Amino acid sequence: MTLKALIFDVDGTLAETEEAHRQAFNDTFKANGIDWFWDVPLYSELLLTTGGKERMLAYQAAYHSDRPQMSFDEIAELHRQKTARYVEILAIGGLQLRAGVADLIKRAGNAGLRLAIATTTSRPNVDALTKCCWGKPATELFEVIATGEQVTAKKPAPDLFELALNQLQLSPENCLAFEDSRNGLLSAMGAGLDTIVTPCIYTKDHDFTGALRVISTLEGFDI
């Protein structure tokens, strides 16, 4: 089958973004007088729930079931603030693409491959990342951008990769997915995609059974 498109996850795959997400969550909790603090080991466990709102709800249920529970709307408002804070953190600069990412995307474009995104994070965060790392809005780099707000079931459900495939109007046999986590791999595989995994700082111990290849970085990756 001819390769026609590459579909990339964002968080952990294009860049090591999770420390900026973690800081944005903690800054938001503090700004709202909420006594939650997510350290690295806790965040590592919480990342198994994809999506920031879903992660806060799961944390509240698992760690503070003895307290009055914040409603979905309250959590959604906190998440809105968290997104604004994340965008602010990335705007300061300093976040870099993972090794090999910029070069692979350039080579793929030159080779006539189409480029897409399938991420559980929301659209403002994708633009914040591309502006920070490429100095361009996401649409100048990726033809199709499937983000968390557009689906009801986030990863590990296949919906986000299926949405990207639909928008590309391609079948999975003609595409290759790039992921960094077990949930992302399950999502891509569920959509029928061959998947290259580059584990990130938070996913090194995940089970990547079923991946086409597991490699430390995309440096020199041969398309």
User: Which residues in this chain contact ligand XBP in the complex, by CB under 6 A?
Assistant: 9-12, 18, 21, 50-52, 83, 119-122, 125, 148, 155, 181, 183-184
Q: How far apart are CA 221 and CA 223, in angstroms?
A: 6
C-beta nearest to Mg ion: residue: 12
Angstrom distances, CA of residue 196 to CA of 3, 31, 149: 14, 39, 25
Give the CA distances from residue 220 to residues 100, 142, 171, in Å, rounded to whole numbers and listed in that order: 6, 21, 26
Q: Which CB sits closer to ligand XBP, 22 or 114? A: 22
Asked if 9 interacts with Mg ion (CB under 5 A), we say yes
Tokens 């949930």 map to which residue?
A: 183
Residue closest to 183 by CA, chosen among 199, 163, 201:
199
114 vs 182 by CB, closer to Mg ion: 182
User: Which position among 7, 12, 116, 133 is part of the footprint of Mg ion (CB under 5 A)?
Assistant: 12
Provide, rounded to whole angstroms, the least separation between the CB of residue 69 and ligand XBP: 19
Output 70 or 100, the one with its CB closest to Mg ion: 100
| Residue 151 Cβ vs Mg ion, minimum distance, rounded to whole Å | 15
Least distance between ligand XBP and beta carbon 180 (Å): 7
* Sheet with 5-8, edge to edge strand ranges: 144-146, 114-118, 5-8, 175-179, 194-197, 213-214
Task: Tell me how far, at minimum, the Cβ of 184 lies from Mg ion, in Å.
Answer: 5
On the CB side of 51, how many CA atoms lie within 13 Å of its CA? 20
Any catalytic annotation for residue 11? Answer: yes
Distance CA 84, CA 193 (A): 33
Site for Mg ion in 159-198 (CB under 5 A): 180-181, 184
- The yes-or-no answer on residue 9 being catalytic is yes
Which partner from the list Mg ion, ligand XBP, none does 125 bind, CB cut-off 5 to 8 Å by kind? Answer: ligand XBP
- Looking at the Cβ atoms of 122 and 198, the one nearer to ligand XBP is 122
For position 18 contacting Mg ion by CB under 5 A, the verdict is: no
- The tokens describing 198, both together, are 């580059």
**Rg of the Cα atoms in the chain:** 17
Can you give the binding site for Mg ion, defined by CB under 5 A?
A: 9, 11-12, 180-181, 184
Catalytic machinery residues: 9, 11
